[in-house]
Amino acid sequence: MKAKNIIKKIFKPIIIIPALIFLLVIGGAVLSWALQSYDAEEIALGFLESTESVNIVEEGDYLLFESAQINDNKPGLILYPGAQVDYKAYSRLAYKLADEGYSTILVKMPLELAILGWRRADGAKELLPAKNDWYLIGHSLGGAMASRFISREEPDWVTGLILLAAYPASSDSLADTDIEVLSLYGDNDEIVDLDLLKERRNILPERAIFTELEGANHSGFADYGEQDGDGEAMITAEEQIGLSVEYIIDFINQRL
């Protein structure tokens, strides 16, 4: 068969039209998904200005909240955001942790999906090369991917993991590690499967600490508004973030 005839067969309308329709459907689905992303609210953006106690620096895919309280004994913190959430929505949480002396780095994820950038903690720690003790924090999907990083990369510089409404995938067990783990979740969270969250305790170290925040939901760990399908919070985001900071600091201080 001549090459010309082969080309005609390949590019027949009966083939081209369905292919174009398929591409349009996929493109529409991607666009629809992108429009569902959650932007950082104005209150979060207000915590992006440096102050006397916290210096804020943006470096590529990272946003560093560096504490003015220089203390090499205090670990650094690296935070992975939830799926489809602007990483700057966690600015208030990061600022408050840095204000307490714990320099914190927010990680920007490809397409706002931590599953596409779960190894980015490696690059984050390079912003503060003098620190050799770190805790990873992850919200929702970010928590699952922070767990994956520890499970698969086995970094010797990570001391602990803090899960915010999150749990590891069954394939990323941390049960046999010496990682310190704190799991925080709200009793009004209707995004995460709370039953599964508690069941996954069996793939975390036995000493893992689980703390339920009364009146808290899934969205209140950051400032991006109410996530579709979430339960109604009985406390404000300010209160939920404040409680989270208290529990995180207490958890870390007990291990210093």
Q: CB neighbours (10 Å) of residue 238?
A: 12
Cβ atoms of 175 and 203 closer than 8 Å: yes
Region 119-144 average pLDDT: 97
The whole model's pTM is what? Answer: 0.88
pLDDT tens-digit profile of 149-203?
999 999 999 999 999 999 999 999 999 999 999 999 999 999 999 999 999 999 9
**Under CATH, what is the fold of the domain 39-253?**
Rossmann fold (3.40.50)
- Find the helix packing angle between 237-253 and 91-99, rounded to 10°: 40
Cβ atoms of 96 and 38 closer than 8 Å: no
Mean pLDDT (the chain) is 90
* Domain boundaries along the sequence of the chain: 1-35, 39-253
DSSP state of 123: H
Question: Rounded to whole angstroms, what are the CA distances from 136 to 30, 81, 133, 164, 218?
Answer: 30, 11, 10, 11, 19
Region 68-73 average pLDDT: 80
Burial class of residue 32 (count of CB atoms within 10 Å of its CB; 0-12, 13-18, 19+)? exposed
Q: Which residues pair with 34 in a beta bridge?
A: none
Region 72-100 average pLDDT: 96
Examine the pLDDT at 27 and tell me if it is beyond 50. Answer: no
